[in-house]
Amino acid sequence: MKKLILISLLTTAVSAHAAGLDYYKEGAICDKSSGFCADFMGVSVALTKIYLGDKAEQKLMAEINKVGIKDFDASTFTMRGGLTCDTKVKTCWTNRYDKKVDVKANRTLFGQ
Residue 15 lies in a domain: no
Residue 95 lies in a domain: yes
Residue 9 lies in a domain: no
DSSP for 56-110 reads: HHHHHHHHHHHH-TTT--TTEEE-GGG-EEETTTTEEESSTTT--B-HHHHHHHH
Residue 13 lies in a domain: no
What is the domain count for the chain? 1
Residue 35 lies in a domain: yes
Specify which residues 45 forms β-bridges with: none
Residue 77 lies in a domain: yes
Q: What is the pLDDT of residue 2?
A: 37
Q: What is the pLDDT of residue 19?
A: 54
Residue 41 lies in a domain: yes
Q: What is the pLDDT of residue 14?
A: 33
pLDDT tens-digit readout, 3-16: 333 233 233 333 34
Confidence class of residue 20 from pLDDT cuts 50, 70 and 90? low
Confidence class of residue 99 from pLDDT cuts 50, 70 and 90? confident
Residue 53 lies in a domain: yes
Quick one: 1 exposed, middle or buried, by C-beta within 10 A (0-12, 13-18, 19+)?
exposed
Question: What is the residue range of 76's domain?
Answer: 24-110
